Amino acid sequence: MPVMTDAERTAASAIFGDRVGLAERFVLHLATSGIERGLLGPREVPRLWSRHVLNCAVVSELIGQQVSVCDVGSGAGLPGIALAIARPDLSLELVEPLERRVTWLDEVVRDLGLKNVVVRRARAEQVVDDVDVDVVTARAVSALGGLMQLTIPLLHGHGEVLAIKGRSASEEVAKAGRAIRKLGGSAAEIITVGAGILEEPTTVVRVRVG
């Protein structure tokens, strides 16, 4: 089990509250079966809290109460499962095309007893007719222009996309402007969340639709 630093423990308590035990169990899954099945590389184990789970869960600051969320390309449940633990009021659909990842996600959701999560094995473009949500999240799926084509249609004309990005966020936003407008999105804004909680705040690109 990755050992939390004092700073990570403080952040985890602030973000997860009385559900921090569930977050610890999720990290244990990531550090064991998640690594064994190739969802994450073994080098990520010391950084599971700071770089992955806390980094994702803090995005919940940007999401309203009791809304529906679709996490596209959910992979190792980042940010989807992290958000589901932090915010039991949210209704989440995790969309992931790879069978081995879907199997793992199902096992983790079941073990953690997350009643607010549904896992779907599909590509985002295959579920447009079935999924209509308030918020779409994504992390490490593709460059912003291509990502907008996968995510904006799931909002059906109203809602927002929250894409977790790194240092290239402003460059990606500049390149994706035309694609975003064509799909009916507003100008993308770059937001940092978790300042004062995380040692390195999370960068999110938000695109509103409708």
For residue range 114-141, list pLDDT tens digits in order: 999 999 999 999 999 999 999 999 997 7
Taking domain 58-209, whether its CATH number is 3.40.50.150 is answered by yes
**DSSP E strand stretches across 52-167:** 68-72, 91-96, 117-121, 135-139, 159-165
For residue range 52-101, list pLDDT tens digits in order: 999 999 999 999 999 999 999 999 999 999 999 999 999 999 999 999 99
Burial 139-154 (b: 16+ CB within 10 A, else e): bebbebbebbbbbbbb
Give the H or E element holding residue 106. Answer: helix 99-112
Measured between alpha carbons, how far is 33 from 184 in angstroms, rounded to an integer? 40
Q: Which two tokens stand for residue 96?
A: 């992931």
For residue range 10-54, list pLDDT tens digits in order: 999 999 999 999 999 999 999 999 999 999 999 999 999 999 999
Q: Which two tokens stand for residue 87?
A: 């915010």
Q: Both ends of the chain: CA-CA distance in Å? A: 44
Q: Which two tokens stand for residue 108?
A: 């983790």
Give the H or E element holding residue 177. Answer: helix 169-182
For residue range 144-189, list pLDDT tens digits in order: 989 999 999 999 999 999 999 988 899 999 999 999 999 999 889 9
pLDDT, residue 142, reads 81
pLDDT, residue 113, reads 98
